[in-house]
Amino acid sequence: MRDENNHPDDATRRGPPVNRAPQQGHPRTYQGASSRPGAQPPAGASRSSAVRQPGKPKRRPAASPSSPQAVIARDFHSRLHGKPTHAAHSHAWHAGLLAFFLSITKFILVFLLIISFVFGGFGGGMLIAYVSTAEALTLSDFEISDAVLTSHVYDINGDEIAKLTGSENVDRVYVSFSSVKDTYIDEAIISIEDERFYEHNGIDVQRIGSAILSAVANGGSATHGGSTITQQVVKLISGDDQRSAQRKVQEWYRAMNLEQQLTKDEILDYYINLAPMGNNYVGIQAAALNYFGKDAKDLTLVECAFLAGLPKSPSYYNPLRETGRRNAMRRMRIVLSKMHELGKITDEEYEAALNTELVFKTSSTTTATTINSYFVEYAVEEVISDLQEERNISQEMAATLVYNRGYKIYTTLEPTVQSALDSAFMNQDLFQSDPEAIEDYPEKPTAGMVVINVETGAIAGMQGGYGEKIRNLGTNLAVDAYRQPGSSIKPLIDYAPALEVNLVTTATVYEDKAYTTLDPSNPGVVWPKNSSDHFYGPLTIRSAIAKSSNVIAVIVWTALNNMEEGLPLWYLKQVGIDRTDEVYPATAIGGFSIGMSPLEMAAAYATFPSGGVYREPYAYTTVEDSEGNVILDKTTQITSTKVYSEETCFLITSMLEDVITGGTATGNVLPIENDAGETIEVAGKTGTTDSNVDKWFCGYTPYYAAATWYGYENRLRTTTIPSGQDRNNAMRIWNDVMQNIHNTLPGATFTVPDDIVSLQVCTSSGLLATPECVAAGTAVTDYFVKGDYLTPDTSCTIHTATPTPTPDPSVPST
């Protein structure tokens, strides 16, 4: 414990710090090393009996001379010779005099600027307006606690599926300030960021003036910022870093307000847990674990100085890059120099630190003890995002609360659904039909899949990659894989909108042939072509969907767009996929600059079995704090949009059933039969991109909608899915999951609206079939909307009866 006479404790640490250099009665102790871990004195240094916390500091084990860590340390150490350019212990008298006059000048200048602003009429009015509109930070459940409370995640039945603590999230790990007070971390941070931290009330007028003069002297680029640690904490909590005079004034107000709510140690607690440390690491504990392989409470002097320098520019001082590490090492030496200048460390400690080799971990990541599922990670991300918006706080602050405040997160995960997903995504046969054939590929095939509950719009389960999940916070292909959708987009952007605006019926006939007018940017060029490399001739809309005709899809898209420019993409936006700035015909067949994720596609397809109502997908229902208070209620935020009529949904569903029973999915996606032998109807659409890079299947039953993407991540190169069975794997994965989900569900059919009628029509004309149509084999029964003006009410004009000739009496018979 620190000497109470020389350093305030948690409750009183507001006043100015006492100089703790040895000559001021607070010597450092050397016991083969400094009283804090890692500071090593030069030979002959005296050993004092006074220690900061007797018995606690431990000497840092020396790295083996031949170890990789030692080699790396010596390499970087050999490139950094000498001391910082500023010699803290040597000042000429004229330099001191000049510094005195400069400090007086700066103070007077800033004072005059503030006075003129406050009392300068218009400026004063703006200041008052800025302050009056500033929202004070609400710290209701942000209280500082040495104890980290574990948060729990539950499925839809209330059973626990995950525990969340900082240790399970290597990007951010909470550590209390009290546990690291016996390191040099506070001295290092205060020295480089805010040397008058214990003296000001939130803003440092002198530092602001110094920054202004520095900017003037350096052509507008200040050598240091004007923000105090308190101001930085305000930004870290609120996430507000917009550059404007209004924001800066409001930040000053919030900082002074924060100083009234918290002690100095509590402010430092926020800083050390929210400060960015590069590579998505937040807080000193995550940085200590990932850069040095140790807890923050065991950091040495040089390690503390190193970490204190990172928040200024985490990317520039990135320790995982060689140039970044060099920059960070130079920054560390500046921090040490400043600590020495301010009397935070002795001459001996300073000299020892400059000559101490800094040993880094060879691995860039720390493995969490528990690996959370893709669903849990997504649900937690959703909670963090909503909490950030609800509380008007930063993403870092929201994440810290979720992982460390004992929250209870109730999700929408359905165990039966997730179990079916987990089983399928561990089945090699569904992903690699011939493993030897792809043995030399730079990557192995993978997939992403999301299942949506049709009744609620909630996410029932997801899988973000093939095989065992081996790390937290990696790529989730269920939500992060934005890939070209191919023909799976056609029902969403072409056919359902066309049915809704009465542009077509299921029996409307178009000519599938070579066109040179459908691509405005390339007139005269035959486009599009079908994947089969031939044209089908006259096709009804039903047949065009079953055969996945690209030509008919573009014709329908063009007709829609001619009705109102952007109309197809407007309908796509209504089902949660906003690509309204991509108005060109290629989108009709899946040619987007930004692709779709399985989550987007599953939620969009769920619109059809839900009767035309789109619901934004969600992964949790409520969140409670450690005392049982509901702090987030997702059920009150769920919005629904009526996009299609029930008639449109039935008609598109009827045609998508043909894709499975006689179209492009035949034999791979099967009608579902439950354990009791009852039928559950299935509808869906395949999708393939150019060169077979991406494969999709999106479909639904009366219970669930699901979308599956299959392919390669293509991190190293674009990989074509090899010919053969693997090109059917998206369908096979989808079929396996959905068959297992529905085993115990009752038989079900899609709802037929009351005004749907069935008529026998001719597939050549789209009109009512005649006996001649029947004889020609072109008569089929199809569905229409009763009374709709497009519903056929005249007979086919292509197949007509041949009249029987009347005998001429004047012609003798033979």
Read off the pLDDT of each residue in 698-721 and give the average, rounded to a whole number. 96
Contact 634, 618 (CB under 8 A): yes
Average pLDDT of the chain?
A: 83
102 compared with 410, residue with greater pLDDT: 410
pLDDT at site 776: 94
Counting Cα atoms < 13 Å in the Cβ hemisphere of 46 gives: 8
pLDDT at site 392: 84
Which amino acid is it at 160?
E
Q: Is residue 283 pLDDT above 60, yes or no?
A: yes
pLDDT at site 146: 53
447 compared with 88, residue with greater pLDDT: 447
Give CA–CA dist 394/100, Å, rounded: 40
108 compared with 253, residue with greater pLDDT: 253
Q: Is 666 helix (H, G, I), strand (E, B) or coil?
A: coil
Q: Is residue 122 pLDDT above 60, yes or no?
A: no
Helix (H) or strand (E) holding 206: helix 205-217
The 10s digit of each residue's pLDDT in 647-672 is 999 999 999 999 999 999 999 999 99
The 10s digit of each residue's pLDDT in 514-542 is 999 999 999 999 999 998 889 999 999 99
**Band (467; pLDDT cuts 50, 70, 90):** very high
The 10s digit of each residue's pLDDT in 603-624 is 999 999 999 999 999 999 999 9
The catalytic residue among 176, 373, 487, 765 is: 487
pLDDT at site 382: 97
The catalytic residue among 168, 187, 193, 195 is: 193
DSSP state of 149: B
Q: Is 282 exposed, middle or buried (0-12, 13-18, 19+ CB in 10 A)?
A: buried
pLDDT at site 253: 80
pLDDT at site 73: 38
Query: Would you state the structure tokens that stand for residue 420, as one six-digit string?
Result: 């079916």
Sheet order of strands, 694-700 included: 459-463, 446-453, 704-711, 694-700, 683-688
Beta strand 694-700 pairing with 683-688:
antiparallel
Q: Is residue 106 pLDDT above 60, yes or no?
A: no
**Band (484; pLDDT cuts 50, 70, 90):** very high
Q: Is residue 68 pLDDT above 70, yes or no?
A: no
Which amino acid is it at 109?
L
Q: Is residue 39 pLDDT above 70, yes or no?
A: no
Give CA–CA dist 162/410, Å, rounded: 11
pLDDT at site 52: 38
Read off the pLDDT of each residue in 251-276 and give the average, rounded to a whole number. 88
Give CA–CA dist 267/258, Å, rounded: 8
Q: What percent of the chain has pLDDT over 70?
A: 75
User: Which string of DSSP letters, residue by residue, matches 155-188?
Assistant: -TTS-EEEEE-GGG-TTB----HHHHTTSSHHHH
802 compared with 731, residue with greater pLDDT: 731
User: Which string of DSSP letters, residue by residue, matches 390-447?
Assistant: HHT--HHHHHHHHHHB--EEEE---HHHHHHHHHHTT-GGGT-S-GGGGTTSSS--EE
Q: Which residues pair with 688 in a beta bridge?
A: 695
In this structure, of 208-212, 231-235, 272-276, 291-295, the range with the lowest mean pLDDT score is: 208-212
Q: Is 324 helix (H, G, I), strand (E, B) or coil?
A: helix
pLDDT at site 346: 95
pLDDT at site 36: 43
Total number of residues shown for the chain: 814
The 10s digit of each residue's pLDDT in 215-237 is 566 555 555 567 899 988 888 88
The reported pTM is 0.75
Helix (H) or strand (E) holding 705: strand 704-711
Read off the pLDDT of each residue in 112-118 and give the average, rounded to a whole number. 53
In this structure, of 158-162, 204-208, 380-384, 554-558, the range with the lowest mean pLDDT score is: 204-208
**Band (813; pLDDT cuts 50, 70, 90):** low
Q: All domains of the chain, ordered by start, with CATH? A: 68-146+164-354 (1.10.3810.10), 754-803 (no CATH)
Q: Is residue 60 pLDDT above 80, yes or no?
A: no
In this structure, of 86-90, 214-218, 731-735, the range with the lowest mean pLDDT score is: 86-90
657: annotated active-site residue: no
User: Which string of DSSP letters, residue by residue, matches 226-287?
Assistant: ---HHHHHHHHHH-----SHHHHHHHHHHHHHHHHHS-HHHHHHHHHHHSB-STT-BSHHHH
pLDDT at site 490: 98
377: annotated active-site residue: no
Q: Is residue 312 pLDDT above 80, yes or no?
A: yes
